[in-house]
Amino acid sequence: MLKLPKWFFQWSEENPTDIIGPAVLTGTVVTGAAVAAMIVAFDNPYRTEDIQTGPRGIGMAVSKFVEENPQYDEYEETYVAFDRVEVPEGTPTAAEAYGEVIAFGDMDQANFDQLTKAMSAWTGTDITLVVSEDADPTQLAITENCIETTQYLNDSWDTHNLASEGVGVNCYTCHRGQPTPPGSWLKAGAVNSAAEGWAAIQNRLLTYEGAHTATDFIHKYTQSEYTSLPVDAVEKFLLDGESIKVHDLESRVDQQPGDPTWQDAERTFSLMNHQSNALDVGCVYCHNTRAFYDATQVTPQWSITTLAQQMAIDVNQTFFEPRSEILGEESAKMNCMTCHMEVISPLNGRNMVAEWPELATMAE
């Protein structure tokens, strides 16, 4: 039996006709206590976590709902690690066992085979590293190119990929178990001969290469981020290496849409949307929003992102664009989404080169 508090009876005596007031108050108190108990028992579903980006005290922080776990890479759970195999002395090397191989010839045969299995699982493709009469020359050339790309990212761009600190990248970082990395992209191109120039790159829905392989990719990864902004931003900035900037002090009153300054500004906005979605962060992750143009008021992450942009340009120009000649068609390329897939630390910061340090060192 519910035992009512003394104040309830006192209220009833003093206000014999007013029963609604205390009833509402009692209900409010009981409901509040129940909600508080549920929060304590099951945690607050609206609890947030702040990631400080800029100097303390100026409000430059990224807030996320903890319940959504926004910085967790679900692909880490499906990653299959292939440990090295212990082999007895005298085991032949890959080169001794198979003759000429395109990479890792000094590795012992057992671990060479193990790495081949790993790469096959990571890329969703049957990898053949042994050069033989039955090998597909195109597949071998692409495999060699991919190995060199991985080693180059870990060696020449260690400042961003942190291979020396036990992170780095391997095939799975981009491929995620699929032949074509789901976050890769192709050039926009013209829709037809009548739609060229500026008209060809605006108001278009262009998904990343590989977006058709999983339903949830279709609504996530579009080159214009579902806006009317240009779809060729990553092509111009992360392949052609054009200057990324918006702000200047010149009046734009007399200019019309289609002016190169407007075009590059819109491309910059498109690229910023892409980078925000690729890492699932907001503007203040890199910028001070009172002065986007001022490089002296940015966060440390701005420098990291700028370095990553230069890395993407380098790798796209050095490996992925030339790969088109091997394929006989345009090769898919990389941008921020290719590795990050909506989190700041891909694969939850997992060490992707621990088992196979050969992927972190360029061949002599």
Is 146 annotated among the ligand-binding residues?
no
- Provide the pLDDT for residue 297: 84
Q: Is 336 annotated as a binding residue?
A: yes
Please give the average per-residue pLDDT across 177-194, as a whole number.
81
* 263 shares its domain with 298: yes
Residue at a domain's end among 109, 140, 169: 169
Same domain, 64 and 134: no
Residue 360 is assigned to a structural domain of this protein:
no
pLDDT of residue 315: 97
Has residue 285 been placed in a domain?
yes
Note whether residue 28 is domain-resident: no
- Domain match, 163 and 197 both: no
**At 213, is the pLDDT very low, low, confident or very high (cuts 50, 70, 90)?**
very low
Q: Same domain, yes or no, for 73 and 102? A: no
Check the annotation: does 287 bind a ligand.
Answer: yes
In a domain, 145, yes or no: yes
Please report the pLDDT score of residue 216 as a whole number: 46
Token reading at 305: 């992102």
- pLDDT tier at 210 (50, 70, 90 boundaries)? very low
Whether 165 and 244 map to the same domain: the answer is: no
pLDDT class of 137 with cuts at 50, 70, 90: confident
Q: 55 and 97: one domain?
A: no
Q: 219 falls in which pLDDT band (50, 70, 90)?
A: very low
- pLDDT tens-place string over residues 319-349: 999 999 988 989 999 999 999 998 999 999 9
CATH classification of the domain holding 309: 1.10.468.10
Q: For the residues 218-225, what does the mean pLDDT come to?
A: 62
Pick from 126, 149, 169: which residue ends a domain? Answer: 169
Is 189 found in the same domain as 124? no
- Residue where one domain finishes, among candidates 135, 153, 169: 169
191 and 147 inside one domain: no
Domain residues for the domain of 153 are: 83-169
Domain-embedded: residue 332: yes
User: Domain check: are 254 and 137 in the same one?
Assistant: no
Q: Structure tokens of 61?
A: 């922080």
Per the structure block, which two tokens stand in for 268?
A: 């910059």
Of 93, 76, 108, which Cα lies nearest the Cα of 356? 108
Do 203 and 273 lie in a common domain? yes
User: Are both 182 and 145 inside the same structural domain?
Assistant: no
Of 85, 87, 109, 79, give the one whose Cα is nearest residue 97.
Answer: 109
Q: Is 286 annotated as a binding residue?
A: yes
> 3-state SS of the chain?
CCCCCHHHHHHHHHCCCCCHHHHHHHHHHHHHHHHHHHHHHHCCCCCEEEEECCCCCCCCEEEEEHHHCCCCCCHHHHCCCCCCCCCCCCCCEHHHHHCCECCCCCCEHHHHHHHHHHHHHHHCCCCCCECCCCCCHHHHHHHHHHHHHHHHHHHCCHHHHCHHHCCCCCHHHHHCCCCCCCCEECCCCCCECCECHHHHCCCCCCECECHHHCHHHHCCCECCCCCCCCCCHHHHHHCCCCCCCCCCCCCCCCCCCCCHHHHHHHHHHHHHHHHHHHHCCCHHHCCCCCCCCCHHHCCHHHHHHHHHHHHHHHHHHHHHHHHHHHHCCCCCECCHHHHHCCCCCHHHHCCCCCCCHHHHCCCC
Same domain, 215 and 271: yes
Residue 179 has pLDDT above 80, yes or no: yes
Structural domain count, the chain = 2
Residue 65 lies in a domain: yes
Kindly report, residue by residue over 235-276, the tens digit of the pLDDT: 999 999 998 887 666 666 666 655 667 778 888 999 999 999
247 annotated to bind ligand: no
Residue 181, in any domain of the structure: yes
For residues 166 and 350, give the distance between their C-alpha atoms in angstroms, rounded to a whole number: 8
349 found inside a domain:
no
